[in-house]
Amino acid sequence: MIFQRLLMQQYFLCFLVLLLFTACRQNDKQPVEWSVYRGDNASTGYSSLNQINKDNVSQLKVAWIYHTGDAREGNRSAIQCNPIIVNGMMYVTSPKLKLFALDPATGKELWKFNPFANEEAVGVNRGVTYWSDGKDKRIFFSANYYLYAVNADNGKLIESFGNHGKVDLREGLGRDTSKLAVAAATPGIIYKDILIQGTSLGEGYDAAPGFVRGYDTRSGKIVWTFHTIPQPGEFGYDTWDKEAYKEVGGTNAWAGMSLDEEKGIVFIPLGSPAFDFYGGNRKGENLFGNCLLALDAATGTRKWHYQLVHHDLWDYDLPAPPTLVTVNTNGKKTEAVVQVTKMGMLFLFDRVTGEPVFPIEEKPVGKSALIGEAAWPTQPFPQKPKPFVRQFFSEDEITNISDSAHAFVKEKIGKAKMGSIFTAPDTGGVVQFPGTRGGAEWGGASVDPLTGIMYVNANEIPLLVKMKAVPYSGNDAMVSTGEKIYTMNNCTMCHGANRAGTTVFPSLQNLAKKLSAEQVSSILKNGKGQMPPFPGISGDDKKALLDFLFDKEKKEPGLKNDTAKEKKYRYVHNGWITLTDKEGFPGVKPPWGTLNAIDLNKGEILWQVPLGEYPELVKRGIRNTGTQNLGGAVVTAGGLVIIGATYDEKLRIFDKENGKMLWEYKLPAGGYATPSTYSVDGQQYIVIAAGGGGKVGSPSGDAYITFRLKQ
């Protein structure tokens, strides 16, 4: 009897074990989604998946490749999209801003939405937003001026949203919509039934204001608006010239956001006021420019802010969504928000109060010599962690990859100023370092929430910035009307002051041999590729600009009574001129691109490794230089940091504990995007866009490529 009872107990235990094992196997086959841009509302870029890990990563193979079929010509394509996997589908966008739904296990196209039957797609898209109330399922997708609501199941426009399925992002900004260029490269974020959306704008003197809007996810109506350039009577209005709010633009949330859904707080990184390199028409600190902003997600009411650059003169936008994490500093746990910057600084704040986790010191910086400019006398420097890029340029930092490269760069610098990170722009030239594409970029940082360790890729690529004065009242014998329009609308930033172009942007010299005046007029109105439209240029101004571009305009002599005192000046710069050697390699000592691990609990950099290589230099025995990198990383519970981003077009996987590279794969084109990872039927996948081209200028591509373990 006792024996039978024991036997029954053993059978029962075995049955329980079998049930548990079966349940676990069934649970293993439950899909694990990547349902939000950068993985989750906290923007951690983290996945709990560990099927792919340090022990088996060498067994990765291509699972499937999907081609969108619409790469642009001339290495001008870019796919910066971070795919989301939700609702049993993968949602991605293409170089020409079409929206696709794919089967995440096979890559089979399920449906396609093309908003451009009669228009030219302009700019890039970094991802989409998913919302559902259980029955109604929507993808919010931005292209050109519009925010679209698309049925997530079949790709059809939802006619009840906005104006027959779309909202015009130019509306609600308080200015003439016909003269505004507004888009949304980065997806918004959902709080309950509100889509909180930022925008991408021009960076010239005619830029639109970057107000943040909350839209009703069902109707498309604006629920709330936060004025990032304060209006009269609002907090922060006194940090600007009194009339600045009428004409100054920028201060926009172009980089994305993060959300503490439980507390109902949305965290928004804001860009620079425009124009980015001269602020004579916007004296003051310029709130909320370059601020990390915490708003009540339901109402858009300000909870707190912290300005990370005062009166920005360097285009040091906050470049990426902040990351939410719990840190343990000196035995005290803090629910924190962490912001990475182009300056290579990392700022940590208490999520609720906005108090810094580590001390921040205001330090004196230099003055500006430009007419009418009043640079802010101090800038904030966090005491921990140390910057993850160099912040000072001197002759000792000039490239050392060869004697000839060093001599070429030294001569190129000439009498331009070298010095600290906040050296004010000048007409004699300034070496800006780490530069506008330095430090962290829009790919942002990823955090392992279990350890509090952050992983961020960075650039250390100097610019050679030279300012030019342009009178905008009074006459000037040296500047024609068309040239004024060319410079004041910051065409110089891409095409150069002499219209010679740059490494990435085309020359406009001898334009008549390439395009007609009618074609250029259409591009100015509608944009093309990555060139935004300039709707504010019309009538006589457009005619004068076209005459200048086609070398038909004559300079008129200035008036006899035109004196310096009667003129007012604004400044433009000579373009995005990267300081390079004769072969085009960065003019500073390597590394030029790095991957960094930072302990947020202690405020310490744990390791730093070069990210990327130039094959031409490797052949000469020059290795571990790093390259310019665009796109972020994913960190996983399998001990991995997964990142593309590099000019050598490789996807790499690193050991998150020590930075050792474990695996690499040559993509069909540059992977200038953030990967995603997910599981279907118990199989973990990694996917990345391989679009190449864009601002990096490498060959164009149109692919999404997915990996899994060999079966």
pLDDT in tens, 311-349: 999 999 999 999 999 999 989 999 999 999 999 999 999
| CATH code, domain carrying 562 | 1.10.760.10
- Is residue 446 situated within a structural domain? no
Distance between CA 572 and CA 485 in Å, rounded?
11
Q: Comparing 63-77, 310-324, 597-611, which segment has the lowest mean pLDDT?
A: 63-77
DSSP secondary structure, 560-586, as one string: TT--GGG-EEEEEES-S-B-B-TTS-B
Quick one: average pLDDT of 482-504?
A: 64
* Strands 323-329 and 291-296, sheet pairing: unpaired
Q: Is the dihedral of CA 270, 90, 710, 24 positive or negative?
A: positive
**What is the per-residue pLDDT for 474?**
46
**Is the confidence at residue 113, as pLDDT, over 50?**
yes
**pLDDT band of 484, cuts 50, 70, 90:** low
Give the separation between CA 683 and CA 61, rounded to whole angstroms: 13
Most confident of 494-498, 526-530, 540-544: 540-544
Q: What are phi and psi of 522, to 5 degrees?
A: -65, -40
Render pLDDT for 575-586 as a digit per residue (tens, 0 to 9). 778 999 999 999
Contact indicator for 465, 432 with CB cutoff of 8 Å: yes
Lowest-pLDDT range of 19-33, 380-394, 585-599 = 19-33
* Cis preceding-peptide flag for 591 (omega within 30 of 0): yes
Average pLDDT for residues 402-423, to the nearest whole number? Answer: 96
Confidence of residue 566 (pLDDT cuts 50, 70, 90): very low
User: pLDDT value at position 202?
Assistant: 86
Residues 383-408, mean pLDDT to the nearest whole number: 97
254-277 tens-digit pLDDT = 999 999 999 999 999 999 999 999
Give the pLDDT score at 682.
96
What is the reported pLDDT for 15? Answer: 42
Question: What pLDDT shows up at residue 447?
Answer: 98
Residue 4 pLDDT exceeds 80: no
In a domain, 553, yes or no: yes
Predicted local confidence at residue 471, as pLDDT: 76
pLDDT of residue 604 exceeding 80, the answer is yes
- Prediction pTM value: 0.90
pLDDT at 564 over 60: no
- DSSP secondary structure string for all residues of 332-381: EEEEEEEEE-TTS-EEEEETTT--BSS-EEEEE-----STT----SEEEE
Is the per-residue pLDDT at 562 higher than 50? no
Mean pLDDT within 585-608: 98
**Look-up: residue for tokens 């420019």?**
289
Residue with the two structure tokens 């035109």 = 562
- Give the residue-averaged pLDDT of 483-508: 65
- HEC string of 42-60? CCCCEECCCCCCCCCHHHE
Please give the pLDDT value at position 695. 72
Are 83 and 92 a contacting pair, CB within 8 Å? yes
Query: What pLDDT is stored for residue 561 in this prediction?
Result: 36
pLDDT at 549: 74
413's enclosing H/E stretch is: helix 403-413
pLDDT digits (tens, 9 = 90+) for 185-200: 999 999 999 999 999 9
Whether 634 and 39 have beta carbons less than 8 Å apart is answered as: yes
Give a yes or no: residue 663 inside a domain. no
Of the candidates 585, 707, 578, 702, the residue with the CA atom closest to the CA atom of residue 648: 585
pLDDT at 118: 72
515, part of any domain: yes
Domain count, the chain: 1
CA 53 distance to own-chain centroid: 29
Q: Residue 120: its pLDDT value, please?
A: 77
In the numeric block, the tokens 């970094």 are attached to: 126
User: What is the bridge-based pairing of β-strands 84-86 and 89-93?
Assistant: antiparallel
Which of residues 20 and 574 earns the better pLDDT score? 574
422 CB-side CA count, 13 A: 19
pLDDT, mean of residues 611-629: 97
Q: Would you say residue 274 lies in a domain?
A: no
Q: What percent of the chain has pLDDT over 70?
A: 86
**Residue 20: its pLDDT value, please?**
38
Residue 338 lies in a domain: no
Q: Indicate the average pLDDT of the chain.
A: 89
Q: What is the pLDDT of residues 199-235, one digit of tens each?
A: 999 888 889 999 999 999 999 999 999 999 999 999 9
Give the rounded distance of the alpha carbon of 598 from its chain centre: 21
- DSSP for 101-170, written as a single string: EE-TTT--EEEEE---SSS--BS-----EEEESSS-EEEEEEETTEEEEEETTT--B-TTTTTTSEEETT
Does 116 reside within a domain?
Answer: no
Is 80 exceeded by the pLDDT of residue 535?
Answer: no
pLDDT exceeding 90 applies to what percent of the chain? 75
User: Could you tell me which residues come within 8 angstroms of residue 287 by beta carbon, excluding any fewer than 6 positions away?
Assistant: 230, 235, 236, 239, 240, 305, 307
**654 to 38, 78, 82, 642: CA distances (angstroms):** 19, 25, 20, 7
Which pLDDT value is given to residue 21?
39
Helix (H) or strand (E) holding 597: strand 593-599
507 inside domain: yes
Kind of pairing, strands 700-709 and 60-67?
antiparallel
Confidence of residue 14 (pLDDT cuts 50, 70, 90): very low
379: tokens are: 């800038």
Average pLDDT over residues 8-24: 42
Predicted confidence (pLDDT) at residue 550 exceeds the cutoff of 90: no
Task: Round to whole Å and give the CA distance between 5 and 46.
Answer: 49
Centre a 10 Å sphere on the Cβ of residue 617 and count the other Cβ atoms it contains: 18
The range of the structural domain enclosing residue 538 comes to 467-573
Q: Tell me which of 331 and 165 has the higher pLDDT.
A: 165
- Predicted pLDDT of residue 531: 64
pLDDT of res. 504: 58
83: nearest Cα among 36, 115, 32, 46: 36
Q: Beta partners for 363?
A: 379
Task: Taking residues 416-430, report their average pLDDT.
Answer: 95
Q: Per residue in 645-689, pLDDT tens? A: 999 999 999 999 999 999 999 999 999 999 999 999 999 999 999
DSSP strands (E only) in 256-356: 258-260, 265-269, 273-274, 291-296, 302-307, 323-329, 332-340, 346-350
User: For position 410, what pLDDT does the model report?
Assistant: 97
pLDDT for the residue numbered 510: 74
- Amino acid identity of 439? G
Ranking 1-10, 45-54, 388-397, 474-483 by mean pLDDT, the lowest is: 1-10
Instruction: Grade residue 497 by pLDDT with cuts at 50, 70 and 90.
Output: low
Q: What tokens were used for 253?
A: 């949330």
pLDDT higher than threshold 50 for residue 507: yes
Is residue 434 within 8 Å of residue 388, measured between CB atoms? no
CA separation for the pair 376, 388 (Å, rounded): 24
For residue 596 the two structure tokens come to 């960094």
pLDDT grade for 73, boundaries at 50, 70 and 90: confident
Residue 491 has, within 13 A of its CA and on its CB side, a CA count of 24
539 three-state secondary structure: helix
Residue 231 is predicted with a pLDDT of 97
Per DSSP, the residues of 642-707 read EE--BTT-EEEEEETTT--EEEEEE-SS---S--EEEEETTEEEEEEEEEE-GGGTPPEEEEEEEE
Peptide bond into 506 cis (omega under 30): no
Please classify residue 333 by burial: count the beta carbons closer than 10 Å to its beta carbon, then call 0-12 exposed, 13-18 middle and 19+ buried: exposed
